[in-house]
Amino acid sequence: MNSGNLNVDLIRDLAIGTALLNSSYDRCTTLSELIESDGWDHVSNLANGYLNAVGLDVDEYYISKYTIAKKIWSLSEVELDNIIADSKRLDICS
């Protein structure tokens, strides 16, 4: 699909939000809850399925745990890896 007229960032944001909600998370889900439940793969797979459903090339716009962490908690890959390693708690509803 030609994504020239689509707001791909908005579609990716909606895919992530919808995947989180359909995975029984909510807007107050903490990063530690996602880490503890090891929900990254499930949320990522759902979000990428939504991208595929609207005709976006999943290989080009793939949503990983790093994409999710950046969009929801504004974390870089290194920050997320450090938090996962340290099992720190970050709350989006504070």
- Per-residue model confidence as pLDDT tens for the chain (94 residues): 555 667 899 999 999 999 999 998 887 888 888 888 888 899 999 999 999 999 999 999 999 999 999 998 999 999 999 888 876 445 455 5
pLDDT of residue 1: 52
Domain locations along the chain: 8-86
pTM comes to 0.81
CA distance between the termini of the chain? 39
